């Protein structure tokens, strides 16, 4: 009998050899009801990374299923199952089956945990092959995610290194990272393989690129041990199929050399390029107004026939050099002047000096004459100055550098060392003569000078060498050796495209050669900008900041007062304590590198927006009835000198995301306490000027019981558009 309920049974016995047959009889039998089969939920209970569609089935024919999703026991008053249930968050489904002729089934229970994985961490720069050390940042799109990483290729776990600052990758290695965040499953593993292959040293040419008046023999060297050099002479990029360098290259015409170095264990070097110009002198400049005497001021234009020439000029009788004034527009000559000019052009040596003497006015005092004239002399000279204008008074100044003395000429004077002389004359009834300058070089030629000066540069430089002795010949080297009269003769600007030291001497007939002048030029990579362990922003208490730099061997210098750091600033040795509002600036200095860019971080200690909280109890604790609401107030004041264009005021439960509260906020009228707008999740202050005040009411609804605990807090945060917290207030919440 499989059916429950009352059944009629017909029974009889046919009999046998011993017993007689029985009489047929019918009786009723009442049995107990069977229990319906418990429902089955599919998919099964468990943890999932995405929303699930849960089907409920039952094996009992004609059964009706009832279920709950809030953990309570289902009854026939619960929701009737008609379609799959969407489970988008963690919840427990309980179900029963009810069928006619059956007792209610046992309760089927299935707990579903929906935990999305955290976003996969992202590396910057991306994985790849690099020729220098890299500073790798790891970020994650999941809010409040903590990142853990390894650099040895193993899978990261929460026991691995926690990411806090960029990772210095100075050698080939693989970084793996995961992100962990509350309410999420651990992210997928992000992997980035970095290959750091230092390039071979860039080849160096000697002599360096430049303009020469004769054929040159070019040597190419490389600092990388065992390097093989390949080069081209037609301006194309060299490869390992290009000519292999074996001996000095003879250049008799203008050509561009390019070279690379190849060495085992190194990436190919950067391409070294040197443009050599074998050329004649630039054309001598010409003046639009010829030398002569004029009654009125003259406007003199200077031109040159050499394409692209730059003209340098003087008006005081001194020989022009590339350090002299650059001609840009007509020279106004309103008094007697001695105009001289040279032309410098790419592909040409410096032009001869063009000269013009202009006397302005009907009666101009004659130009004084020096005897002997300025020039180079092996011994002391006695100088006489004369003037052809009767009654002329001659004034002259002698000296060198910052020591110059002025005299009225009264008789011959002695020049026993190298000195400048400036001189002019004026006679009664005449205008002043031209003011001229000259130099007497006595015994030894002055030291050559360089322009630009020695130093560290991030790009190639065009270096000029000049000497104050007009007749001097300059010899120079770029390979570190001491120059002699057999060294290269300077004929035009020298291109300095790599680290090198130029040494030079000046020679002149009848004089002893100058001492050697040296100028060291560092053309290199810029050291990495220092990084700070603490992001710029506002903090409620004193902080400690660690400063790092990924450039090997870097020394860090810093300031705390907003001034630009130099090598005379404080040297970084230990973390910097930030106890008050300060701006931290730092530079990195390393051998072979130009100084880094300035790293800067502004820290505000003690939020600039002060807050004052009031609760009904007065003890900073807000008591709320379960299922009911309560409110507290916050007053805010901008105590800084900064006017904030926009401040967002929002609420938060901090790290306690499961706190069962609903919170809204409104700005209130300071006098009446009434909301200025309907309460919302956040309000905006725009602007919020210095010394400005604002008042708020915060409404908190408790959706479940809340125990007394310091971790059960509601926060009010004041943030700028970038999310930096500028002020904060909080109260503890508890239900009664």
**CATH number of the domain that residue 668 is part of:** 2.60.40.10
- 27 occurs within a structural domain: no
Q: Are residues 728 and 615 in the same domain?
A: yes
Q: Tell whether the model's pLDDT for residue 385 goes beyond 80.
A: yes
Q: Look up residue 309 and give its two tokens.
A: 């020439």
Short-list 462, 498, 491, CA closest to 278: 491
pLDDT band of residue 2 (cuts 50, 70, 90) is very low
Burial class (CB in 10 A: 0-12, 13-18, 19+), 371: exposed
Distance CA 383, CA 412 (A): 5
Mean residue pLDDT across the chain: 87
Read off φ and ψ for residue 474, nearest 5 degrees.
-105, 130
- Domain closes at, from 223, 252, 278: 278
Q: Are residues 600 and 615 in the same domain?
A: no
* Cα first-last separation, the chain: 59
Read off φ and ψ for residue 461, nearest 5 degrees.
-120, 150
Check residue 10 and give its pLDDT: 58
Torsion of CA 392, 393, 398, 401, to 10 degrees: -100
Q: Residue 661 sits in which domain range?
A: 609-735
> Using alpha carbons only, what angle is made at residue 605 by residues 538 and 560, rounded to the nearest 5 degrees?
105
Contact status, residue 90 vs residue 158, Cβ threshold 8 Å: no
- In b/e form, how buried is each residue of 189-200, taking b as 16+ CB within 10 angstroms? ebbbebebeebb
Check residue 20 and give its pLDDT: 59
Higher pLDDT, 254 or 248: 248
- 8 occurs within a structural domain: no
Q: Look up residue 435 and give its two tokens.
A: 């003011």
Short-list 220, 256, 219, CA closest to 237: 256
Q: Which of 119-128, 151-160, 193-202, 643-652 has the lowest mean pLDDT?
A: 193-202
Q: Are residues 613 and 726 in the same domain?
A: yes
Q: Tell whether the model's pLDDT for residue 55 goes beyond 60.
A: yes
Average pLDDT over residues 244-261: 90
Number of domains comprising the chain: 8
Check residue 13 and give its pLDDT: 57
Is cis: bond before 452, omega within 30 of 0?
yes
Contact status, residue 488 vs residue 475, Cβ threshold 8 Å: yes
Beta pairing partners, 162: 148
Q: Look up residue 640 and give its two tokens.
A: 């800084």
Q: Are residues 264 and 225 in the same domain?
A: yes
- 30 occurs within a structural domain: no
Q: Are residues 727 and 641 in the same domain?
A: yes
Contact status, residue 653 vs residue 713, Cβ threshold 8 Å: yes
Q: Are residues 680 and 731 in the same domain?
A: yes
Classified as helix, coil or strand, 642 is coil
Q: Tell whether the model's pLDDT for residue 7 goes beyond 70.
A: no
Distance CA 524, CA 497 (A): 9
- 16 occurs within a structural domain: no
Q: Are residues 136 and 173 in the same domain?
A: yes
Q: Are residues 186 and 249 in the same domain?
A: no
- Domain closes at, from 605, 640, 662: 605
pLDDT band of residue 648 (cuts 50, 70, 90) is very high
Predicted model pTM: 0.36
Check residue 27 and give its pLDDT: 47
pLDDT digits (tens, 9 = 90+) for 676-690: 999 999 999 989 998
Q: Look up residue 264 and give its two tokens.
A: 């085992």
Tokens 């805010």 label which residue?
636
Parallel, antiparallel or unpaired: strands 46-48 and 108-114: parallel
- 469 occurs within a structural domain: yes
Distance CA 407, CA 345 (A): 41
**CATH number of the domain that residue 518 is part of:** 2.60.40
Q: Are residues 546 and 629 in the same domain?
A: no
Higher pLDDT, 128 or 123: 123
Secondary structure element (H or E) that encloses residue 734, with its range: strand 725-735
Check residue 8 and give its pLDDT: 52
- 11 occurs within a structural domain: no
pLDDT band of residue 420 (cuts 50, 70, 90) is confident
pLDDT band of residue 5 (cuts 50, 70, 90) is very low
Distance CA 501, CA 543 (A): 45
Our measurement of the distance from residue 85's CA atom to the centroid of its chain's CA atoms, rounded to an integer in Å, reads: 52
- 6 occurs within a structural domain: no
- In b/e form, how buried is each residue of 616-646, taking b as 16+ CB within 10 angstroms? eeeeebbbbeeeeebbbbbbbbbebeeebee
What is the gyration radius of the CA atoms in the chain, in angstroms? 46
Classified as helix, coil or strand, 213 is coil
Average pLDDT over residues 118-146: 88
Q: Are residues 438 and 392 in the same domain?
A: yes
Distance CA 322, CA 131 (A): 38
pLDDT band of residue 486 (cuts 50, 70, 90) is confident
Q: Look up residue 181 and give its two tokens.
A: 């965040």
Parallel, antiparallel or unpaired: strands 102-103 and 34-35: parallel
Check residue 18 and give its pLDDT: 57
- 29 occurs within a structural domain: no
Distance CA 142, CA 321 (A): 64
Any idea what DSSP says for residue 88? -
**Residues whose CB falls within 8 Å of the CB of residue 180, separated by 6 or more in sequence, listed in order:** 118, 145, 146, 147, 148, 158, 186, 187
Average pLDDT over residues 523-532: 82
Q: Are residues 41 and 71 in the same domain?
A: yes
Q: Which of 90-104, 267-281, 631-645, 678-692 has the lowest mean pLDDT?
A: 267-281
Q: Are residues 718 and 643 in the same domain?
A: yes
pLDDT digits (tens, 9 = 90+) for 294-342: 888 899 999 999 988 999 999 987 888 888 899 999 999 888 888 999 9
């Amino acid at each position: 009998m499989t059916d429950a309920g009352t059944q009629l049974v017909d029974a009889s016995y046919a009999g046998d050899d011993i017993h007689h047959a029985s009489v047929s009889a019918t009786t009723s039998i009442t049995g107990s009801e069977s229990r319906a089969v418990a429902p089955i939920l599919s998919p099964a209970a468990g943890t999932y990374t995405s929303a699930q569609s849960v089907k409920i089935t039952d094996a009992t024919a004609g059964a009706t299923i009832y279920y709950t999703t809030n953990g309570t026991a289902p009854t026939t008053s619960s929701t009737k199952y008609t379609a799959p249930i969407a489970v988008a968050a963690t919840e427990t489904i309980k179900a029963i089956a009810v069928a006619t002729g059956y007792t209610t089934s046992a309760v089927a229970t299935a707990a579903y945990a929906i935990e999305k994985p955290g976003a996969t961490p992202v590396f910057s720069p991306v994985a790849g092959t690099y020729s220098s050390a890299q500073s790798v940042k790891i970020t994650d799109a999941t809010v409040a995610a903590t990142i853990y990483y390894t650099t040895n290729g193993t899978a990261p776990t929460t026991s691995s290194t926690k990411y806090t600052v960029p990772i210095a990758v100075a050698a080939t290695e693989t970084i793996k990272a995961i992100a962990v965040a509350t309410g999420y499953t651990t992210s997928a593993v992000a992997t980035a393989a970095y290959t750091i292959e230092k390039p071979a040293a860039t080849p160096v040419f000697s002599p360096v690129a430049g303009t020469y008046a004769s054929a040159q023999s070019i040597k190419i060297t490389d600092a990388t041990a065992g390097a093989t050099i390949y080069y081209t002479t037609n301006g194309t990029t060299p490869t390992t199929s290009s000519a292999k360098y074996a001996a000095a290259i003879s250049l008799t015409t203008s050509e561009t050399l390019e070279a690379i170095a190849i060495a085992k264990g190194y990436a190919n070097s950067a391409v070294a390029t040197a443009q050599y110009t074998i050329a004649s002198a630039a054309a001598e400049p010409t003046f639009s107004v010829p030398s002569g005497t004029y009654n009125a001021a003259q406007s003199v234009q200077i031109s040159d026939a050499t394409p692209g020439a730059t003209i340098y000029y003087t008006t005081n009788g001194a020989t022009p050099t590339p350090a002299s004034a650059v001609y840009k527009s007509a020279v106004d000559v309103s008094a007697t002047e001695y105009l001289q000019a040279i032309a410098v052009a790419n592909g040409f040596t410096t032009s001869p000096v063009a000269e013009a003497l202009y006397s302005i006015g009907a009666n101009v005092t004659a130009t004084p004459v020096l005897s002997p004239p300025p020039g180079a002399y092996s011994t002391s000279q006695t100088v006489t100055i004369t003037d052809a204008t009767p009654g002329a008074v001659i004034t002259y100044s002698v000296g060198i550098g910052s020591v110059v003395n002025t005299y009225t000429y009264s008789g011959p004077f002695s020049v026993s060392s190298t000195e400048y002389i400036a001189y002019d004359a004026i006679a009664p009834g005449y205008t002043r003569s031209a003011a001229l300058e000259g130099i007497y070089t006595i015994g030894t030629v002055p030291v050559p000078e360089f322009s630009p000066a020695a130093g560290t540069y991030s790009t190639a430089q065009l270096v000029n060498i000049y000497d104050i002795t007009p007749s001097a010949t300059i010899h120079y080297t770029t390979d570190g050796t001491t120059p002699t009269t057999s060294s290269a003769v300077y004929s035009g600007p020298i291109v300095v495209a790599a680290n090198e030291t130029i040494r030079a001497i000046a020679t002149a007939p009848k004089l002893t050669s100058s001492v050697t002048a040296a100028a060291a030029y560092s053309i290199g990579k810029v050291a990495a900008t220092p990084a700070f362990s603490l992001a710029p922003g506002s903090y409620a208490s004193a902080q400690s900041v660690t400063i790092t730099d990924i450039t090997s061997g870097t020394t860090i210098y810093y300031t705390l007062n907003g001034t630009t750091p130099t090598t005379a600033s404080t040297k970084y040795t230990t973390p910097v304590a930030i106890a008050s509002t300060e701006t931290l600036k730092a530079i990195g200095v390393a051998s072979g590198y130009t100084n880094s860019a300035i790293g800067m971080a502004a820290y505000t200690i003690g939020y600039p927006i002060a807050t004052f909280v009031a609760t009904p109890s007065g003890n900073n604790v807000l008591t709320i009835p379960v299922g009911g609401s309560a409110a507290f107030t916050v007053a805010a004041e901008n105590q800084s000198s900064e006017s904030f264009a926009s401040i967002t005021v929002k609420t938060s439960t901090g790290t306690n995301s499961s706190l069962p509260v609903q919170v809204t906020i409104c700005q209130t009228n300071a006098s009446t306490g009434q909301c200025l707008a309907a309460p919302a999740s956040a309000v905006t202050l725009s602007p919020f000027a210095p010394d400005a005040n604002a008042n708020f009411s915060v409404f908190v609804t408790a959706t479940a019981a809340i125990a007394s605990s310091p971790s059960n807090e509601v926060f009010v945060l004041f943030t700028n558009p970038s999310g930096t917290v500028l002020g904060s207030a909080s109260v503890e919440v508890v239900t009664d």
